Amino acid sequence: MSATRSALFNLYWAGWTSLFALPLVVLATLGSPSRPIRAFTRLWSRGILFGLRHIVGLAYVEESRERIPAEPCLIVANHQSAWETLAFLTLVPDVAIVAKRELVAIPIVGWFLKRSPMIIIDRANGTQALRIMIDESRVAIGQGRSILMFPEGTRGAIDEPVQFKRGVELLYAKLGLPVLPVAVNSGLYWPHGGSRHRPGTVVVSYLATLAPGLNGAEFMRRTQGAIDTELDRWREPAPQAG
């Protein structure tokens, strides 16, 4: 049954996404205005979450949403599946997501994501990618938008320890924003590298914010530690010796 529901959802995904081809043409003709593009991007995201709930049986809940700052902040989340990339478009409206260049290659959706705009980086460019990330993050903040980053750089299994790459430490130091750590357990229901989706409830847990101004080592220790500790809720306990 799970395989059948996943196949139906994948068909729904393709059909729902194809409906955005016409808005793409219209918005491109109008010069790609960012606000309408972001509105359509959020609509697409909500439609995907609707399909997951009603076809797959995969819902989500948010815990401690009141911890999201009213002003722009730096959101750092663990990354286990494609779920959180698309869901945050709905969870945090107008968020600017730091994303890999490969994401904008997705037909139709990639056009909207690039012009929302996301902060698209090519990690192969090293120093230049970091400079683009910082500059475009500052532009987004000036527009009143929060920045979202998945600092692991790639998706990992829920039983793997959270290990941030150093780019988030630099971004934290340069932006001077409060930091909102977020833990998600989406890998339990949408495993990395697979197209099968399982019914259940993804938990999005907003953790206590960190103030700006920490040194790099303390920032990394506290953010990684907070998310890792939260993920222990869903990890299998280690076997006892003897």
Give the tens place of pLDDT for each residue, 147-182. 999 999 888 888 888 999 988 999 999 999 999 999
> What percentage of the chain has pLDDT greater than the value 70?
96
> Cβ distance 101 to 124 under 8 Å?
no
Domain with 15 in it: 2-231
Within a domain: residue 237? Answer: no
The CATH number assigned to the domain holding 81 equals 3.40.1130
pLDDT at 200 over 60: yes
The three-state secondary structure class of 227 is helix
pLDDT (0 to 100) of residue 46: 97
Determine phi and psi for 241, rounding to 5 degrees: -70, 145
Mean pLDDT across 96-124: 87
- What is the spatial distance between Cα 160 and Cα 23, in angstroms, rounded to a whole number? 40
- What is the spatial distance between Cα 25 and Cα 18, in angstroms, rounded to a whole number? 12
Within a domain: residue 35? Answer: yes
240's tokens: 């006892």
Query: How do strand 179-184 and strand 96-100 relate by DSSP bridges?
Result: unpaired
Mean pLDDT across 183-191: 93
- What is the spatial distance between Cα 21 and Cα 180, in angstroms, rounded to a whole number? 35
- What is the spatial distance between Cα 133 and Cα 154, in angstroms, rounded to a whole number? 17
pLDDT at 242 over 50: no
Task: Express each pLDDT in 5-47 by its tens digit.
Answer: 999 999 999 999 999 999 999 999 999 999 999 999 999 999 9
Within a domain: residue 212? Answer: yes
pLDDT (0 to 100) of residue 166: 86
- The Cα-based distances of 120 to 74, 98, 186 in angstroms read 16, 6, 23
Relative orientation angle of helices 167-175 and 216-231, to the nearest 10 degrees? 120
Query: How do strand 147-149 and strand 96-100 relate by DSSP bridges?
Result: parallel
> Cβ distance 30 to 40 under 8 Å?
no
Task: Find the distance separating the first CA and the last CA of the chain, reported in whole Å.
Answer: 39
Within a domain: residue 201? Answer: yes
Within a domain: residue 165? Answer: yes
Within a domain: residue 236? Answer: no
Within a domain: residue 240? Answer: no
Of the candidates 200, 201, 197, 202, which has an alpha carbon nearest to the alpha carbon of residue 1? 197
Domain count, the chain: 1
- What is the spatial distance between Cα 141 and Cα 61, in angstroms, rounded to a whole number? 27
pLDDT (0 to 100) of residue 196: 77
Residues in Cβ contact with 220 at an 8 Å cutoff, skipping those fewer than 6 apart: 164, 168, 169
Predicted structure pTM score: 0.91
For residue 206, the cross-strand partners are: 182
Within a domain: residue 186? Answer: yes
> Cβ distance 131 to 165 under 8 Å?
no
